[in-house]
Amino acid sequence: MMRFLLALALVAGQSLLAADEEKTLSLQLPPASLEKWYRPANKRDVWLHTMFRLRREMQAVSEYAALEDSARLKKWLARLEKDYLSIGEMVPEWKDELEDGLLKKMRTAAAAGDAEAMGRWQRKLGKSCQSCHAEYKLTAALLYRAPDFSAVKVESEETLEEEDYSRVMSRLSLLLNRVKIAGEDGRQQAATDALGQLEQRLADLGGSCSACHKQESAREIILGREAKASLAHVRQGLEAGDQKRTGRYLGEFAVGVCADCHAIHRLQSNMRRLLSGD
């Protein structure tokens, strides 16, 4: 099997002086054929739903084996077998990793009503689930289910131009710091101009949420009334030459808008980009 290795350098310790303690971590990417079992290539996240079924089927099998309910046990065992084998049909690269022999053994144990053997083979099957998960679960979830910000455009209301997220973000950061620097140095006009631009850019950014959020509520939580109120205080602080007030509300804004949205989206976006090589 093709192995894509990706090395992440994790700097251990607190400073660069500790660079000799650098550690690396390898992450393995799933075969590309997995992609077609996820949206948008597929109508649904077929792969994930198959996995949820497998977990349910494993549970039903242990419960009915314990209850010695052989009719229901057979029913769930058949479903488990079908879904487990579908792994190799969906992702041919993984066919050889499957332990199909165990399912046959489980069927034999069920037919013989041998609960002890049943438990043993099922635990082994569980290990085969885990060994694939240890290698691929995280990277598959990030690659195929983390929101894809690289595809989202932000339209400027002023120029009608479409910009990508990372550009818009750099601009927001620049404007925020300009308000801070000019405010601190008593350059009131420059600070309020930058603030006006920041407000405009945020309004533009707000237009992009609907690319993924059908409801307005997400946008309201981050960019709604509270964010606007913080910036109104910043403006009043600047106009009154009140640095304490300006600083306090600018800080409140940076946490409630920038940091809170980053806590939800940024890390996932960065990880997805890293893994997909964008």
Asked if residues 38 and 144 have their Cβ atoms less than 8 Å apart, the reply is yes
Q: Which two tokens stand for residue 19?
A: 């660079």
Q: Which two tokens stand for residue 111?
A: 């037919």
163 binds ligand HEC (CB under 6 A): no
CA-based nearest residue to 191, from 199, 201, 181, 200:
181
Q: Which two tokens stand for residue 204?
A: 């533009």
Q: Which is nearer to ligand HEC, 77 or 172 (CB)?
A: 172
Q: Which is nearer to ligand HEC, 187 or 206 (CB)?
A: 206
Query: Distance of alpha carbon 93 from its chain centroid, rounded?
Result: 25
230 binds ligand HEC (CB under 6 A): no
48 binds ligand HEC (CB under 6 A): yes
Q: Which is nearer to ligand HEC, 6 or 132 (CB)?
A: 132
60 binds ligand HEC (CB under 6 A): no
121 binds ligand HEC (CB under 6 A): no
CA-based nearest residue to 229, from 218, 240, 237, 239:
237
Per-residue interface string for the shown chain with ligand HEC, residues 62-101, x marking contact by CB under 6 A: ----------------------x--x------x--x----
Tell me the CA distances in angstroms from 154 to 31, 160, 161, 163, 274, one per residue in order: 32, 9, 8, 5, 22
46 binds ligand HEC (CB under 6 A): no
Cα 156 to Cα 139: distance, rounded to the nearest angstrom: 34
CA-based nearest residue to 149, from 14, 266, 16, 276:
266
Half-sphere exposure of 24 (CA within 13 A, CB side): 6
127 binds ligand HEC (CB under 6 A): no
Give the binding-site size for ligand HEC (rule: CB under 6 A): 57
Shortest spacing between CB 39 and ligand HEC, in angstroms: 11
Asked if residues 239 and 188 have their Cβ atoms less than 8 Å apart, the reply is yes
Give the one residue of 28, 119, 265, 276 binding ligand HEC; rule: CB under 6 A.
265
Per-residue interface string for the shown chain with ligand HEC, residues 175-214, x marking contact by CB under 6 A: -x----------------------------xx-xx-xxx-
Tell me the CA distances in angstroms from 65 to 53, 57, 100, one per residue in order: 18, 12, 20
Interface positions with ligand HEC (CB under 6 A):
30, 47-48, 51-52, 54-55, 58, 84, 87, 94, 97, 125, 128-129, 132-133, 136-137, 140-141, 144-145, 147-149, 152, 165-166, 169-170, 172-173, 176, 205-206, 208-209, 211-213, 218-219, 221-223, 257-258, 261-262, 264-266, 268-270, 273
